[in-house]
Amino acid sequence: MDRIALLIVVCALLAPGSGWAQQGRAEPGLPRTAGLVVTDAAARAAALAGREAGAAGPVLGRIRLGQGVLGYLAGDYGHAAGQLEEAAGLAAEIAGCAAYYRGLCLYKLGMAVEALGIFQGVAGQTGQTGQTGSARSPIAAAALYMATLCQEKTGVPEQALAGLRDFLERPEPGVLPYALWRAAKIAADLGQFDKVGQYLSRLYLELPGSPLDGQAAALAESLAVGGRLDWRPYSVASLSSRAAVLVRRAQNEKALVEIDRALVEAQGEQAAWLSYLKGKALFALRRTQAAREQFETLLRVDPGSKLTPFARLQQARAYWRAGAAEDQARMEAILLDALGRFPDSEAAPLLRRFLLLERLESGRFEAALEVARDQIAPGPGGRFSPEALRFAGDQVKGESVDEFVEQARYLEGLILYALGRFDEAAAKLEAFIRDWPGSQEVSGAGYWLGQASLRLADAPRAAAAFGREAALRPNSYYGYKSLEAMAASGLPVSLAATAPDGPPVPPVCPNEAPSEGMAVNPDARIAIERAYALEEALLPELAEIEIAPVAQADPANPVLALEAARIATVNGRHQAASAFIFRAFSACLSRGGADQLAPIRDMLYPLKYADLVRAGLEGAGIEAQFVFSLIRQESFFDPAAVSGAGAVGLMQVLPETAKGLAAKLGEPAPPRERLFDPAVNIRYGTAYLARKYASLGSPVYLLCDYNAGPAKLNFWRANLGNLDPDLFVEFIPYTETRDYVRRILANMVMYKLLYK
């Protein structure tokens, strides 16, 4: 028996008891691979044991890898280390993974010196292929981090700090705060105080809310008091920066604590900014009246602040959310006053946008058209300053003002249509398609151009408009509606076979055999082979960790995309699978047929829990595809999903909603944890939908109610209820609700296509 094997035996005898029941997450500060969460571990172990008879070579190596990793996760470090050593010698494609987990076993057994050598060997494999210059694999990056822990334990802090610097260039997000904290402590011990400041400020300012906040602040403060650090964690500037990050990340309760602490000493524009930020945090927490009062206080105390037009915008939004008629009138008055006082402010496009939407939802189309044209008048090409983006970055998609002009141009055509001015509408929509070919609204513009042309009895133009949408995007909502419109109007549907600009280029589709050389990238080949091996070891979680970054680095590679999506689906992560598929097959998703899309159907548009859904909808008059489409949008079929508002599970049922339904059904209210059970969640979710649908009678109204609530829906119905349902959707003023309705309706198109 060699020295390491003997040490393993001794250390294992001294280690705490182990067993399958002891599996859990890694201790804080270790990579996620070190605390891999697996389900049905005992069943996997039994399945691997059942394969052992007659196994040899790489097949046995994969069995040993699976057994070793499961043993490590169960705390059986000594036995697992032996299995992993055997695995590394039998299967070359998983040797690095086996070595890494063997290193973890030794580390857990207190054998830091021996583990260090193993981790350094794995970390030295700088890519999937092991070639210099190639990006590190996740296992190699984790090994580098573990090596730094071993170096600290073995008394070589300089080497540990060098390794951490390397790791921090491309860190694993979950370990990042711990890596920064350790780097700061080591640098402080070595007297490298300039580096201490860099690490601590990055940790404290860019990662607020981490478990190491207090320790980082205490170390920084003690060093600053001693004159060794210039940066102060509790300065107004630092607290303000932290609060802004917390608001951006929707950690608003924590942001309020930082803001109130900073406001004690803040003055001038700094105090104004913090007050503004506090109002935004309160608004995000739906403390609408408190938010409005906060903005009104800021406007009263510091009316000359550069924030004033932006604060007026936020004040108007707070009145808008309140929803009463007098609140709507107050909102409009605030917006008009701000536009009159600050016509050249960078807030003006945002003020006009909300004024346009408010007038639209009130059904005042002539007044809305006037605002749309005011928005269009400056033309495209403007850009927001960094300061404006700081004030209102959550209200814009990028740095350009063009998105506001684009929206107004599109809505101008739709408003003219709603006013019955079909010739003007057609001209504006044609111009929009020409001038904004890359817009997300171009499909809708084509459809409404077709409808306007039908109203003008211009069949050739209608057929061309509908045909273009049906040819380029038949699987989109408006492509599908265009085909319907052509059939309903007696237009020759055959025109949809080609676009006016010529036949679209045939898309790459998932059903096609991969062409030779499609995955010639060496990293891609190795990643796919390794993923297969890890799946055979019954470790699909590790397979996804290995293949995902390679697929993300080569997003157009269909072979990689399919493999990464397939493995993510095995792990129940349909949303991750969807991201891979959309990057590689977006054109086919837009216009491919059911046969072409068949290989990805169950990944992107599954029929999970079909029996539960159909049972819940019995007698309700709601299509099952509607509920599948809603679940896909709400949780992407993740039973553990929780929203920021506290909605739970597959259908994002609020506990209070479930409580109210239970009372109506004459049964006890389910505890919140029971709503994670798919059967319970779907029962209450479908019961809610059935009751609402019985009174509303419209899928569009039902979705608006589900997302925005009954008060807003009632307002929209009162003012827009006489419109075509699709035009009603276009005029929904809340971006979140409008996109929500559109996506679910588009999901239904795909479900109908894929499950004919």
- Per DSSP, the residues of 703-723 read HHHHHH-HHHHHHHHHHHTTS
Are 548 and 570 in contact by the 8 Å Cβ rule? The answer is no
Q: What is the band of 19 on the pLDDT scale with cuts at 50, 70, 90?
A: very low
Residue 558's nearest CA partner among 594, 591, 528 is 528
Positive or negative CA dihedral for 626, 630, 632, 638? negative
Residues 536 and 676 in one domain: no
Q: What is the band of 740 on the pLDDT scale with cuts at 50, 70, 90?
A: very high
CA separation for the pair 30, 73 (Å, rounded): 13
CA separation for the pair 623, 472 (Å, rounded): 27
Length of the chain equals 756
Is residue 152 predicted with pLDDT exceeding 90?
A: yes
CA separation for the pair 317, 295 (Å, rounded): 11
In a domain, 744, yes or no: yes
Residues 597 and 614 in one domain: no
Is residue 42 predicted with pLDDT exceeding 70?
A: yes
What's the rounded mean pLDDT across residues 466-485? 93
Residues 621 and 670 in one domain: yes
What's the rounded mean pLDDT across residues 489-495? 76
Is residue 535 predicted with pLDDT exceeding 80?
A: yes
Which residues are within 8 A (CB) of 713 and not within 5 positions of it... i.e. 6 or more apart? 696, 701, 704, 705
Structurally, the chain folds into a number of domains equal to: 3
Q: What is the band of 133 on the pLDDT scale with cuts at 50, 70, 90?
A: very low
Of the three residues 604, 625, 648, the one that is the final residue of a domain is: 604
Predicted local distance difference test score (pLDDT) of residue 645: 82
Strand residues in 598-656 grouped as ranges (E) = none
pLDDT, tens only, 181-237: 999 999 999 999 999 999 999 999 999 989 998 999 999 999 999 999 999 999 999
Predicted local distance difference test score (pLDDT) of residue 304: 86
Residue where the block lists tokens 């096609």: 512
Predicted local distance difference test score (pLDDT) of residue 135: 61
In a domain, 118, yes or no: yes
Are 74 and 108 in contact by the 8 Å Cβ rule? The answer is no
Residue where the block lists tokens 């334990």: 153
Cross-strand bridge partners of residue 389: none
Of the three residues 567, 586, 604, the one that is the final residue of a domain is: 604
Residues 639 and 579 in one domain: no
Q: Is 606 left (phi over 0), alpha (psi -120 to 50) or beta?
A: beta
What's the rounded mean pLDDT across residues 390-395? 91
131 vs 724, higher pLDDT: 724
Q: What is the band of 322 on the pLDDT scale with cuts at 50, 70, 90?
A: confident
Q: Determine the structural domain holding residue 675 and report its residue range.
A: 610-754
Residues 675 and 730 in one domain: yes
Of the three residues 172, 191, 225, the one that is the final residue of a domain is: 172
Q: Which of 26-35, 512-521, 740-749 has the lowest mean pLDDT?
A: 512-521
CA separation for the pair 313, 633 (Å, rounded): 30
Q: How far is CA 98 from CA 25, 421, 534, 542, 548, in A?
A: 19, 70, 10, 12, 19
Q: In the chain, what percentage of residues exceed pLDDT 70?
A: 92
What's the DSSP call for residue 26?
P
Is residue 13 predicted with pLDDT exceeding 50?
A: no
Q: How far is CA 707 from CA 131, 641, 645, 647, 738, in A?
A: 51, 16, 12, 11, 9
Are 637 and 703 in contact by the 8 Å Cβ rule? The answer is no
Residue 12's nearest CA partner among 87, 64, 75 is 75
Residues 532 and 648 in one domain: no
In a domain, 660, yes or no: yes
Which residues are within 8 A (CB) of 466 and not within 5 positions of it... i.e. 6 or more apart? 446, 447, 450, 482, 483, 485, 486, 491, 495, 496
CA separation for the pair 532, 402 (Å, rounded): 46
Residues 614 and 736 in one domain: yes
Residue 52 has a CB neighbour count (10 Å cut-off) of 12
CA separation for the pair 266, 237 (Å, rounded): 9
Residue 609's nearest CA partner among 627, 588, 634, 589 is 627
Are 334 and 300 in contact by the 8 Å Cβ rule? The answer is no
In a domain, 433, yes or no: no
Predicted local distance difference test score (pLDDT) of residue 496: 44
CATH code where residue 22 lies = 1.25.40
CATH code where residue 684 lies = 1.10.530.10
Residues 570 and 687 in one domain: no
Residue 567's nearest CA partner among 586, 588, 551 is 551
In a domain, 571, yes or no: yes
Helix axes 442-455, 422-435, angle to 10 degrees: 150
Amino acid letter for position 412: E
Residue where the block lists tokens 């990464």: 564
Residues 568 and 636 in one domain: no
Average pLDDT of the chain, as a whole number: 91
pLDDT, tens only, 289-305: 999 999 999 999 889 88
Is residue 638 predicted with pLDDT exceeding 70?
A: yes
Structure tokens at 655: 């506990």
Mapped onto helix, strand or coil, the DSSP state of residue 307 is: coil
Residues 592 and 651 in one domain: no
State how far Cα 621 lies from the chain centre.
33
Predicted local distance difference test score (pLDDT) of residue 484: 93
pLDDT, tens only, 59-79: 999 999 999 999 999 999 999
CA separation for the pair 490, 475 (Å, rounded): 21
CA separation for the pair 675, 682 (Å, rounded): 9
Are 381 and 402 in contact by the 8 Å Cβ rule? The answer is yes
In a domain, 207, yes or no: no
Q: For Cα atoms 584, 590, 594, give the angle at the middle one, nearest 5 degrees.
A: 95
Is residue 15 predicted with pLDDT exceeding 50?
A: no
Residues 633 and 729 in one domain: yes
Mapped onto helix, strand or coil, the DSSP state of residue 268 is: helix
In a domain, 163, yes or no: yes
CA separation for the pair 445, 429 (Å, rounded): 6
456 vs 523, higher pLDDT: 456
Are 117 and 3 in contact by the 8 Å Cβ rule? The answer is no
pLDDT, tens only, 543-562: 999 999 999 999 999 999 99
Mapped onto helix, strand or coil, the DSSP state of residue 207 is: coil
What's the rounded mean pLDDT across residues 735-750? 95
Mapped onto helix, strand or coil, the DSSP state of residue 511 is: coil
pLDDT, tens only, 649-686: 999 999 999 999 999 999 999 999 999 999 999 999 99
Residues 56 and 144 in one domain: yes
Predicted local distance difference test score (pLDDT) of residue 524: 84
Is residue 488 predicted with pLDDT exceeding 90?
A: yes
Structure tokens at 637: 């079929």
Are 179 and 168 in contact by the 8 Å Cβ rule? The answer is yes
In a domain, 360, yes or no: no
What's the rounded mean pLDDT across residues 153-160? 96
pLDDT, tens only, 423-454: 999 999 999 999 999 999 999 999 999 999 99
Are 555 and 511 in contact by the 8 Å Cβ rule? The answer is no
CA separation for the pair 615, 599 (Å, rounded): 28
CA separation for the pair 634, 642 (Å, rounded): 10
